[in-house]
Amino acid sequence: MVFGIRKRIHDHLVERRIRRTRLVTKYGRCNIEFGNVKYGNHFAFLVDFWTTFVEFRWRFVLFFFIASFTLSWFIFGLLWFWIARNNGDLTWQNPSKGHIPCVDNVYNLITAFLFSLETQTSIGYGGRAITPFCSGAVTLIIIQYLIGNIINCFMCGVILAKISIPKKRAKTITFSEMAVICPKKDFLCLMIRVANLRKTLMIGSQIYGKLLRTTIKPDGETIIMDQVNIEFMVDAGKDNLFFVCPLTLYHVIENTSPFFEMAMDTVHKQEFELVVFLDGTAESTNSACQVRTSFIPQEIMWGYNFLPIISRNKEGKYRVNFSNFSKVVPVATAHCAYCFHNMKGHHLHSINGIDNGEFEVIDNLEQPNMTKM
């Protein structure tokens, strides 16, 4: 029992360390912070106030929404109270019997606040109304109407922009938890799987990757987070993906690939991060969005391949079995890229292939030797 608790604590600490060292989390967030920013640069966030408000968290947006309306009602309520006081309309001022107020039924601070609220929200209960004998009151009601409309338009625009922000569309696009390295069409490839959980398509989808690592130049200069382009493609190409069902994207490990010098027993000892990007335009909203994820060496499985997930039922309809989306099976794979190109038959596992049983017209099929990631 003590050994089990100790193992859980160790696994938890390892997971926290891996999460801290990622530049991009599995859900696409960038793990970076800015320090020693000059004070004058903070003013740029106020100049670009629209983007600043849209990027606020929902709790702050709701706070500003409530505060902006409540504060404007209260400030204009004070102004209406001031007008009533100057005209002698308040109860404690004992107005004469024939006195004509600037605003009917505004005789204290509470009634002034209620009149301000009714004016700005266009409620108009009929109990309080402005009279045409005070020019200051007429001017104030015009100003409050204009400012109230500005606040309405701004806050409604911010909420609408946050609701339709493209980041939310990215939540329905998911990547496999692991990447695999195995042969594909006489090439050694690194493969990942991506799926669109909505039936609406992503138009003009493009996939690409960046390998981030620390390199040391011959002159001794250390480059932190050096970026190397990683090209991904599907069988039909790498641009304008037909994203109607889950796709398996692959990167060919050639002699120009940064993975060419790695092997099965050394890839997990490397220090790098593979960041994968998917750009596209949502069909329903016509808004561009980007989906990101990352893979570290411990999340790359050498000598495994993804299980098939597309089948066809008895009615002829295609079906996607997401229970196999993050499952792999061992396949015959060379120990390293050099072995794959120069030493045929140097395999990690059996050379037996994978039967695509998922495409058969069946209700259920158990796959042997499955590994869940």
Mention every residue, 6+ apart, whose C-beta is less than 8 A from residue 252.
Answer: 187, 188, 189, 231
Instruction: Provide CATH code, domain 43-164.
Output: 1.10.287.70
Is residue 45 within 8 Å of residue 52, measured between CB atoms? yes
pLDDT of residue 127 exceeding 50: yes
What does the mean pLDDT of the chain come to? 81
Is residue 228 within 8 Å of residue 222, measured between CB atoms? no
Give the global pTM: 0.70
- 4-23 pLDDT, tens per residue? 677 677 665 555 555 557 88
Is residue 197 within 8 Å of residue 173, measured between CB atoms? yes
Highest mean pLDDT among 131-140, 210-219, 228-237: 131-140
Strand order of the sheet with strand 327-330? Answer: 304-306, 327-330, 371-372
Is residue 366 within 8 Å of residue 324, measured between CB atoms? no
Mean per-residue pLDDT, 164-168: 75
CA distance 127 to 307: 72
CB burial string 231-258: b at 16+ within 10 A, e below = ebbeeeeeeebebeebbbbbbbbeeebb
List the domain boundaries for the chain. 43-164, 169-342
Q: Considering Cα of 235, then 241, then 242, then 244, what sign does the dihedral take?
A: positive
The encoded tokens of residue 108 equal 């204290």
- 264-305 pLDDT, tens per residue? 888 888 888 999 998 888 887 788 888 899 999 989 999 899
Fold of the domain built from segment(s) 169-342: Immunoglobulin-like (2.60.40)
